[in-house]
Structure 1
Amino acid sequence: MLARNQHQLLSTTSVLACEEAMATVEVLTSEVVVPAEETPAGGIWLSNLDLAARRGYTPTVYFYRPNGEPGFFAADAVKDSLARALVVFYPLAGRLGLDGDGRVQVDCTGEGVVFVTARSDYVLDDLMSEFVPCREMRDLFVPSTPEPNPPCALLFLQVTYLRCGGVVLGQAMHHSVVDARGASHFFETWASIARGATLNAPVPPCFDYKLLAARSTSTVLYDHTEYKPEPGPVDAVAASTYASAIITMTKGQVSALKARCVGASTFRAVVALVWQCACRARALPPEAETRLYSMIDMRARLDPPLPPGYFGNAVIRTSVSATAGEIMFNSVGYAARRALAVTSQGEDYARSLVDYLEGVDAMNLPRSGISRAHLRAISWMGMPLYKADFGWGTPAFMGPALMYYSGFVYVMNVPEKDGALALVLSLEPESMPDFRKVFGEELARLEVV
């Protein structure tokens, strides 16, 4: 057995620190789980949006409270349901490969996914009070992954049994194969199978990535700045050094904020406030350019829409720029109106992007961090993140296991609190205290409206 000793994490009100050893994880087993039945073989062509996705694994964690039932997350039961889920989502049991022209594809080999069991001396309540996405937490609860280049496995899973009887389910899925909505679709289906459903998924997955193929006559109508190197150098080392936090907004705060941002969606209103507070916390010069990036799910925006179960990357990068002074010194409603550009793109924009990517080396696009003045916001709202009930109850928390660099924010629903939102964000360590202060002041103003 292997032991992984990790270091203390300060609470979400503080920056990260590695000081005294606090928690340990002991790996009990590591094996490969293959599909329960024979699955289709051969290569699966990936779209330009798959190739343009971040080349790497996306690690997330699910926390489950003990429910006192015998067999709670028993390894054999979890593996059995996983093997059956891989029959439905058979590409995940394959390997990232290359076609005859050297283009990345999925080789449906049925070789299986990596499945690890472990135990930790953490107690769930302590873990949830201390958890922030960071390298230390990722290394505790998500299996180590190889270099994300062909040939490599596509899914790594770890079930960690806590001292209190709770469980952490950690996973790392290759982003070249699927985006967040597709990943949540897999976990929802796997959980339904574990609860006793048949092999038929509630929503059948669609692996027809030709639906996002470039057009025979390329028509690029937009500049697609988001897929080009940022002007000026980006210090990737500095960007990867961050403080992270999880901040909850109540339903009342969200409603009051939306009232200030007339006509804005919930996501756009919340991101506008984060953008405004981040500019202040970073003490940006008023004349400095600040850019808000986002990722927009195009499944329902295309004409015709993609199938609901489209299992691939169907998100596109968008952005809008302004001066820091415009964002800081105008109302949050002004920032929300500026942010409209990152949430309003449709069919023409998406098809233009796919055509643009056909004319560049999509497998080697710039994928470093963003400059200190910018922000990248992603919505996980409305995804079935908390439907991963394997028969022992829904997760008490689900979220990213780490942040890739400074300037990232996820907007998520809060389980069992209708209308409340969780913001999972990262900023430069020196900016986070000021951000928490100014954001907290804004939330307090919302409470008295």
Structure 2
Amino acid sequence: MKKVYPIIHSMSMLTYKCKECLHWSIKRREQLVIVALLSMSYTSVKRISECLIKPLHDLSPEAKQPLHLTPLELFALNVNYSQKGLLFPKPPPSENQDFSITAYLDDLRYSLSATLDHFYLLASRLATKIEENPPSYVIYLDCKNSPGVKFIYATVDATISDILQPGDVPVVVRSFFDLNNAISYDGHTLPLLSIQVTELVDGIFIGGSINHVLADAASFWHFMGAWSEIFKSKEKSFVSISRPPVLKRWVLPGYDPVISLPYTHHDQFIERFEGPPLVERFFHFSSASVSKLKAKANSECNTNKISSLQAVIALLWRCITRARRLSDDDETSSSLMVGNRRRMTPPLSNDYFGNPVGMVGGTATVRELMTNGLGWAAFRLYEAVINYNDTIVKENIESWIKKPFIFKRSQMINKNIILVLSSPRLDMYGCEFGLGKALAVRSGWMNKDDGTINLYPGREGGGSMDVEVCFTSSQTMMNLDSDEEFMDALKIE
């Protein structure tokens, strides 16, 4: 019988301490929350085992060919790995047999291996080819070099209620993810995807760290959905999936798919940026709240064009700006990552697996933002999104090809900006892995700075949203938590 995954590389009980720095306002539920935080202060995640998972079947000669990265992917070589995961309850003991974590992990490994038959590029590594005459520096995906996806099993002496406690996200959640501090360029030597399964006292967290040149949020959740689908199928051979990924790279018409960067050594463009300590908190917007915000924004502008997403982001822009206590003449910006798949002509498939994203946003003075209302802010975001079209996307890519450069996170430091990532439109809760619907989505600490916002669908669906907000200052979080406009929006049920 063919061996699906290699033997465990290490059985050492690696321990990662998570000592919390308590930033907390003495507000409602303060005593209960402080007790919960203190109980988590010295909780440690113990890594029990790890291995590399390869595709279940050997790759075809075609699948082993080099895959050249697009401008939008090369642009992200300094971006950290994306880290997202799902928290599940353990199954209740049945009358016949208790839940076996050993059997469950075996099923996860096997189904992951079968999923990599479809997403085989995730098992490979990046490579660089340098030529002197003529000068050439090409970074590509070496699918022939396919060591596999990393799979980690870890444990933590914590409960679901510890993780989902009111208030700031416990720091221990950061240890539910692997490859902290890795940047996408590190995919030359590190796995392009690492899965960590952390067993809690009463729950299981499945977290993924994925190289950002390979996948945006849509591609990551596409992969997770396919893995969950195969897990549930219990098939033991090649398994078809409902949404096979489109792995062929998109190339700007008239241009060579092989892009040579203007460098001779990676030290000329690599930046390892370590973000500041952050306070992170989740806020829930019910479907009724989102609907009311959308109606209010459209009514103020006498239009019906503003989306629910634009209305919620406009509210966050206004309330976070107020919480930061900026002066009236300061300039503030709201930037959001948007997908290019359906904006291009002809459009890319929704199943295109890659990182085809761009950034749009609005800018205003604090005075303008505060005096003109929710609709005014939302309409500025609407205009930014609607004007970002096929022409703009292709002009930006063509401009980059003519003068390539690698993005550096330090260039984005701006105390007056909010940066919106992820999307509540992605099917995160459809990824069940035999455990039913997840209780919550959580993220790692990579790619976050002051004012970073991650948007997720609400667990109950219906257009509800969960918003993860990050600040460097606990005082700013306190200010947001007491902002009248923000709190009024959250109270709507």
Fold agreement, TM-score > 0.5: yes
Equivalent residue in structure 2 for 1:33, among 38, 41, 53: 53
Are 2:43 and 2:172, in contact at CA under 8 Å, matched by a contact in 1? no
- The change in CA–CA distance for 1:7 and 1:241 in structure 2 (over 3 A counts) is closer
CA distance in 2, matches of 1:391, 1:298: 33
CA distance in 1, matches of 2:284, 2:356: 28
Q: SS at the partner of 1:76?
A: helix
Tell me, which stretches of 5 or more residues in structure 2 are unaligned? 1-12, 28-32, 131-135, 257-272, 299-303
Aligned to 1:256: 292
CA distance in 2, matches of 1:388, 1:171: 13
Displacement of 1:14 in angstroms is: 8.5
Are 2:423 and 2:457, in contact at CA under 8 Å, matched by a contact in 1? yes
Displacement of 1:433 in angstroms is: 1.1
Displacement of 1:85 in angstroms is: 0.7
Equivalent residue in structure 1 for 2:481, among 423, 430, 436: 436
Displacement of 1:154 in angstroms is: 0.2
Instruction: Name the stretch that deviates more: 45-54 or 364-373.
Output: 364-373
Are 1:9 and 1:131, in contact at CA under 8 Å, matched by a contact in 2? no
Aligned to 1:96: 126
Q: SS at the partner of 2:140?
A: strand
* Pairing 1:56–2:83 present: no
Displacement of 1:214 in angstroms is: 6.0
Aligned to 2:242: 202
CA distance in 1, matches of 2:408, 2:196: 31
Instruction: Name the stretch that deviates more: 246-255 or 183-192.
Output: 246-255
Are 1:11 and 1:129, in contact at CA under 8 Å, matched by a contact in 2? no
CA distance in 2, matches of 1:94, 1:206: 17
CA distance in 1, matches of 2:180, 2:461: 33
Are 1:214 and 1:354, in contact at CA under 8 Å, matched by a contact in 2? no
CA distance in 1, matches of 2:436, 2:209: 22
The CA deviation string for residues 290-320 of structure 1, in whole angstroms up to 9 with x for no partner, is 1111111111121111012100011101222
Displacement of 1:134 in angstroms is: 7.5
- The change in CA–CA distance for 1:212 and 1:343 in structure 2 (over 3 A counts) is farther
TM-score in terms of structure 1 length: 0.87
Displacement of 1:421 in angstroms is: 1.1
CA distance in 2, matches of 1:334, 1:201: 44
Are 2:480 and 2:486, in contact at CA under 8 Å, matched by a contact in 1? no
* Pairing 1:415–2:459 present: yes
* Pairing 1:381–2:444 present: no
Q: SS at the partner of 1:129?
A: coil
Equivalent residue in structure 2 for 1:288, among 312, 330, 353: 330
Aligned to 1:424: 468
Identity %: 23
Tell me, which stretches of 5 or more residues in structure 1 are unaligned? 218-235
Equivalent residue in structure 2 for 1:105, among 132, 136, 140: 140
Q: SS at the partner of 1:252?
A: helix
Q: SS at the partner of 2:165?
A: helix
Displacement of 1:10 in angstroms is: 5.3
* Pairing 1:43–2:53 present: no
Displacement of 1:418 in angstroms is: 2.1
CA distance in 1, matches of 2:21, 2:189: 34
Q: Which amino acid aligns with 1:185?
A: H
User: RMSD between aligned alpha carbons?
Assistant: 2.8
Q: Which amino acid aligns with 1:431?
A: T
Aligned to 1:67: 91
Q: Which amino acid aligns with 1:169?
A: I
Aligned to 2:212: 175
Are 1:34 and 1:111, in contact at CA under 8 Å, matched by a contact in 2? yes
Q: Which amino acid aligns with 2:65?
A: G
Are 2:47 and 2:154, in contact at CA under 8 Å, matched by a contact in 1? yes
The CA deviation string for residues 260-287 of structure 1, in whole angstroms up to 9 with x for no partner, is 1113101100010110111111111111
CA distance in 2, matches of 1:23, 1:130: 18
The CA deviation string for residues 366-413 of structure 1, in whole angstroms up to 9 with x for no partner, is 322431111111341211111111122121111322252111112221
- The change in CA–CA distance for 1:213 and 1:445 in structure 2 (over 3 A counts) is closer
Displacement of 1:103 in angstroms is: 2.2
Instruction: Name the stretch that deviates more: 350-359 or 173-182.
Output: 350-359
Displacement of 1:133 in angstroms is: 5.6
The CA deviation string for residues 55-94 of structure 1, in whole angstroms up to 9 with x for no partner, is 3211112101112363457211110011111111000000
Instruction: Name the stretch that deviates more: 267-276 or 415-424.
Output: 415-424
Displacement of 1:130 in angstroms is: 5.8
Aligned to 2:113: 83
Instruction: Name the stretch that deviates more: 324-333 or 178-187.
Output: 324-333
The CA deviation string for residues 340-368 of structure 1, in whole angstroms up to 9 with x for no partner, is 23322111111111112112333x22322
Instruction: Name the stretch that deviates more: 35-44 or 61-70.
Output: 61-70
Q: Which amino acid aligns with 2:295?
A: A
Q: Which amino acid aligns with 1:77?
A: D
Q: How does 1:149-298 map to 2 (within 5 A)?
A: 149=185, 150-164=188-202, 166-196=203-233, 199-209=239-249, 211-213=250-252, 215-216=254-255, 240-262=276-298, 263=304, 264-298=306-340
CA distance in 2, matches of 1:328, 1:200: 53
- The change in CA–CA distance for 1:12 and 1:252 in structure 2 (over 3 A counts) is farther
Q: SS at the partner of 2:42?
A: strand
Are 2:152 and 2:195, in contact at CA under 8 Å, matched by a contact in 1? yes
Are 1:133 and 1:402, in contact at CA under 8 Å, matched by a contact in 2? no
Displacement of 1:140 in angstroms is: 4.0
Q: Which amino acid aligns with 1:126?
A: D
CA distance in 2, matches of 1:51, 1:131: 37
CA distance in 2, matches of 1:448, 1:151: 49
